[in-house]
Chains A and B, each alone.
Chain A
Amino acid sequence: MSNRTFAAAAFTIALAIVVASRFIPNDYFFSAAYTVLQFIILATAWNILGGYTGYVNFGSAAFFAVGAYSTVFLYKALHPPLPVMILAGTLAAGVLGLAVGYLTLRMRGVFFAIATLALSVVLYTFVVNWDYVGGARGAYILQPREVPFGLRRYIHLLYSAMVLMTALALVVARAIETSFIGRGLAAIRDDELAAECAGVPTLRLKLFSATVSGALMGMAGTTFPFYLSYVEPSAAFNLSYAVNSIAMPLIGGMMSWVGPLIGAVLLGTVQQVVQVTISSAWNLLIVGVLLVLFVTLAPNGIMGWVDAWRRRRKR
């Protein structure tokens, strides 16, 4: 499938899902699906830098928060329409991604991971001390009373936006993976020095993938303030974003765009279900056990399993 066909197919499916969802009477579906979709974007975006390029980003929460707080800022300053806020948050996180891309100049491996973690702490401190966006006190972002497109509730609009953004993230990830960029990134992942010697423009590719990865993570955060109505730094910088955006691709498989998608759907859904069924300290335990089991039993993720199984069948 060419990238164009894939994009067309993805957006058609996304639109179809959006339209079909209008007939679901149950709002729980929308808020649960919103959360899962948000994790699909985060996982897919993380994988562009982490899976394709081999640079582990520990600061996903920071990018997510940049997207969220850019919305808070614009809401307070100009009150523009939602698409503008989404675009602005995506760009802002992209700029941060570019900066992180420059970090890769000097550090690799775990050092890079620690640096992104440190960056996240520094940004957190700035947000806490930035009174205009609410500081430690948090900011209230009220959902508009009027919902466009004849939708019943604002959450339906947020959900629909999330579905389309998910399609975009998947299309971008797949396009990168199947193009010369993806091959260049894979070369960097396997042996950066050798890639450099072979004429791969490593720096430019790394900057590109860091920027795209950051921008998409930020995009996932732009609608978050409206989803919650109340944002404060510890919610936007929550550890669960950093953990999940690493864990999900790991569980699904990091070599292709399908992996993060499967991982996020699986782990995200399990978390949603467990939250309303078991609802006690045990739910954290289940996530923990799942994580340990998957990385020990399926080291290449679910897609790793599938690939191995396919290979066996071919023989």
Chain B
Amino acid sequence: MEFPTALVLNAIIAGLLLGGFYAAVSVGISISFGMLDVVNIAHPAFIILGSYVAYIVNERMGLDPIAVSVVLSPLFFVLGLLLYRIYYLCFEKRGQESLRGLAFFFGILFITEVALVLIFGVDYRMVQTAYSETTWRLGPVDFPMRLVVPFLVSVTMVVGVQLFLTHTFFGRAVLAVAQDQLALRLMGVNPTRVKGLAFALSIATAGVAGAFLIVIQPVQPALGREYIGLVFAVCVLGGMGSIWGTLLGAFVLGIAESFTSTFFGPSWAPAVSFGLLLAALAFKPSGLLGR
């Protein structure tokens, strides 16, 4: 096995770009699952929903899908608020979240999928953007804009979420919810409201990630299932509830995947990624940057 410099450099860049995308799809899970203990297995379904929203606006009005998704993210925020309200009333209030919540979100996953099938049909959908076919070349290294643009917006979004969580009152309240709900209550903050807003934030990120997804690859309603394993893997590998960890975990998985693909055989990429996850769980259960 040879490792020519150009291939190695390209593998690193491709891995980072891919990792940036993975971070975007997983950061929501990092909030809902990592911080709030809500096992939102339907998260990928909302990503697909985001893809279709971006698609339809792009199709009708020719606007850039990623810009659209950022502008429309408040819609997803509201959807998240509603969903959490139902979840809270039905499960958290009764104190029996985890497993039943899981089944609940499975149900939501199926319902979302069917809704998309009924509205949009089952065909693959894609979008065309101004940068879809542009590639920058820096010496031997390629920077395809189709991946660079989502990467940049994604990293901005993830860093933004992190700064928001550490530098605003509300954000710190979310972090506090993750640690000690009682203390928060004693300080006069309503943990349910904080959790609801945080969950809504996680769904808003899903909407934006959906736009990235459809810029990168064709989308059909059942595609979300493919991402269930990945989003949880990134979140757990990075460390529960750590946004930096999520970013790092996503980069690690992205680079692992691109190296396996380049040098060994793409077929083994999932085994390598999930093998890494298993090893992390077995030897450092708190993840790379876990609490």
Contact = CB atoms under 8 A, between A and B. Distances in A.
Q: Do chains A and B touch in the complex (CB under 8 A)?
A: yes
Interface of A: 50, 56, 103, 106-107, 109-111, 114-115, 117-119, 121-122, 124-126, 128-129, 239, 243, 246-247, 250, 281-282, 284-285, 287-292, 294-296, 299
A239 B225 contact: yes
Given A114-B236, A122-B274, A250-B100, A288 B90 contact: no
B278 A118 contact: yes
15 contacts: A106-B281, A107-B281, A109-B98, A110-B98, A118-B275, A119-B274, A246-B102, A246-B103, A247-B103, A284-B114, A290-B107, A291-B106, A295-B91, A295-B100, A299-B96
Given A110-B98, A114-B236, A121 B114 contact: no
Interface residues of B, number: 42
B39 interface: yes
Interface stretch (B69-77, B147-155, B264-272): B264-272
Contact of B278 (A109, A119, A295): A119
B282 interface: yes
**For A110, A111, A294, which residue has the most chain B Cβ atoms within 10 angstroms?**
A110
A114 B96 CA distance: 19
A281 B274 contact: no
Contacts of B281: 103, 106-107, 111, 114-115, 118
A50 B91 CA distance: 19
A250 B274 CA distance: 28
A110 B241 CA distance: 13
Interface string B1-41: 00000000000000000000000000000000100000100
Given A106-B282, A109-B98, A246-B102, A114 B277 contact: yes
Interface in B89-113: 90-91, 94, 96, 98-104, 106-111, 113
Nearest to B116: A281
Interface in B117-158: 117-118
Contacts of B233: 114, 118
A291 B90 CA distance: 13
Contacts of A290: 107
A281 B114 contact: yes
A247 B100 contact: no
A247 B106 contact: yes
A292 B106 CA distance: 8
Nearest to B112: A288
Contact of B111 (A239, A289, A296): A289
6 shortest A-B CB distances, which residue pairs?
A: A288-B110, A291-B107, A292-B107, A125-B271, A285-B114, A118-B274
Contact of B99 (A56, A122, A124): A56
Given A285-B110, A289-B111, A292-B104, 6 more contacts: A50-B99, A111-B285, A114-B236, A125-B267, A239-B225, A294-B103
Contacts of A299: 91, 94, 96, 100
Given A111-B236, A124-B270, A284-B114, A296 B104 contact: yes
A114 B39 CA distance: 11
B232 A288 contact: no
B270 A121 contact: yes
B218 interface: no
Contacts of B232: 114, 117
Contacts of A110: 33, 39, 98
Nearest to A135: B267
A304 to B, nearest CB: 11
A276 B197 CA distance: 42
B160 interface: no
Contacts of B62: none
A291 B103 contact: yes
Contacts of B285: 106-107, 111
